[in-house]
A and B are shown apart, each in its own frame.
Chain A
């Protein structure tokens, strides 16, 4: 029987200070153009925490608004506020920067993170009050150090500064003097990814209604690499995050594949559970500091706020078929192969049409498609267009070409079978997975019968291949009851029949 989606979580950490100090658009600008007008403008364009919470796409991400509700909001979104918006949502939360920095320190096992004493004291209670932050995590917090010590580490030891409200409150030290893979920059990036993954795992377990001890395996599918000079990218974010999240029965490993990784990881998790290797697998990913403010130049030029100011994280819990939850159908997998090529029509054909063909289904048989759910509020002003809409147009065009859709129905298809993008441009975070939580609920409620999750990845950015990549899978309602009814016999009956056959066989052998 297919594995089921037991639950999902979606979290954001608002990190405006890291936009300026850690986003690559800004760090690159510092190197090539340190006196630039843009760098001076950045702080003026950063949003307050309240604005980030009230932002419709963020409220959609954490589950307080359904994508259908978002679709009714007039575009653009940055100048609208959601009434009654809250920090906590059905799927997770939007953690403020000060509390996130405390979580980062709690996630640091090698004492590279130093926070100022007064800063820790001021925010410790708020951090401990978070419903998923357990006492054992709070116990990992250090008292903190004096600011002089932090200043000295930055000056003399190449530590990466940590700011809150543009004031120095801590630093990340290098974990090695000469190994660039353990530099303060890399440690900073990796610890931010780990901490946001921990937050996602904590909510994932809670939302799935399982015990932490139920999780047997964790797959991390973010885009960072941890290791030292002898095994750059050796891993293992999954187990490191599981440790802090208290998943004491779990081991795990990292799956990488650029933005396609979450979809790869979900297929792997579903297969691991279906095969019986593990009963319960958590797929998780933290966020990416490098992408903060990635399109900031365009946002500033157009006098918008810098909308890429949050780290994203998600977790999906995959478990054995419980007869209730929606299933990941492993008989309907799409894959972009080495031979597929990079023509957009071939890419979408391999991911959407081919798996449906194999199952004897039409494109219009899928109720909702979730390709890359980037928030168009971010991408449109940057000249990258409305990415989900472009995907829907391609899928619709393919359906027309295959004679499954009338040309007149093109526009309606993109609406009826599509979704408006809401996810932050955190690479892997928007890719297919943001809809998994909603798809699970919509299927359980009978709103839709199935959904296709599509992940695509730009492998060429790693300069190892010019190839593109992608995989897809279909989620549908639970079929355990039908499967049992169709087979006509229960497992007990099968065992009985086998036992009888063996006995008969033994009897014939004896007779001979």
Chain B
């Protein structure tokens, strides 16, 4: 994840408390979604940014995951995301996100 974004996420967690934040991702592939989720939950796996070694444990979803999708206004989601959802491999994204969440739960 971009280093500046990591810095901002870290600042928000300090300011508002991790329990009050939700991170929503829009990555194009499962792997990239997993990496971003890992960064804000377990720490930067690339050891480059301010979240290196920082376990924020933030609640994180990809925008196309069914649990979060059902909370959106259907018409707005349809207009903003639906067509791109058809293009993405949502199953792969869900699998990667679940894998990271499981890993985070074990910690």
Contact = CB atoms under 8 A, between A and B. Distances in A.
Nearest to A383: B32
A393 B87 CA distance: 6
B45 to A, nearest CB: 10
B23 interface: no
Contacts of B47: 33, 36
B48 interface: yes
Contacts of A297: 46
Interface in B5-47: 27-29, 31-32, 35, 46-47
Given A32-B48, A383-B31, 7 more contacts: A28-B3, A29-B48, A343-B80, A343-B84, A390-B28, A393-B87, A394-B87
Contact of B83 (A32, A383, A384, A401): A401
Interface of A: 28-29, 32-33, 36, 297, 343-346, 348, 380, 382-385, 390, 393-394, 397-398, 401
Nearest to B89: A385
A398 B83 contact: yes
B24 to A, nearest CB: 15
A385 B28 contact: yes
Contacts of B46: 297
B68 interface: no
Contacts of B29: 380, 383-385
B35 to A, nearest CB: 6
B84 A394 contact: yes
26 contacts: A28-B3, A32-B3, A32-B49, A33-B48, A36-B47, A343-B79, A344-B83, A344-B84, A344-B87, A345-B83, A345-B84, A346-B79, A348-B83, A382-B32, A383-B31, A383-B32, A384-B28, A384-B29, A384-B32, A385-B29, A393-B86, A393-B87, A394-B83, A397-B83, A397-B86, A401-B83
Contacts of B98: none
Contacts of A398: 83
Contacts of B35: 383
B82 interface: yes
Contacts of A33: 47-48
Nearest to B32: A383
A297 B48 CA distance: 11
Nearest to A297: B46
A394 to B, nearest CB: 6
Contacts of A385: 28-29
B99 interface: no
B54 interface: no
Contacts of A394: 83-84, 87
Contact of A397 (B3, B28, B48, B87): B87
A382 B27 CA distance: 12
A345 B88 CA distance: 13
Nearest to A29: B48
B22 to A, nearest CB: 20
Residue with the highest number of chain A CB atoms closer than 10 Å, among B32, B46, B81: B46
Nearest to B31: A383
Contacts of B86: 393, 397
Nearest to B35: A383
A297 B49 CA distance: 14
A391 to B, nearest CB: 9
A147 to B, nearest CB: 34
Interface in B50-107: 79-84, 86-87
Contacts of B81: 343-344
Nearest to A461: B2
Contacts of A380: 29
B101 to A, nearest CB: 18
Nearest to A25: B48
Contact of B87 (A32, A346, A383, A390): A390
Contacts of B83: 344-345, 348, 394, 397-398, 401
Contacts of B84: 343-345, 394
A403 to B, nearest CB: 15
A418 to B, nearest CB: 13
A401 B84 CA distance: 13
Residue with the highest number of chain A CB atoms closer than 10 Å, among B48, B80, B82: B48
A28 B49 CA distance: 10
Nearest to B30: A383
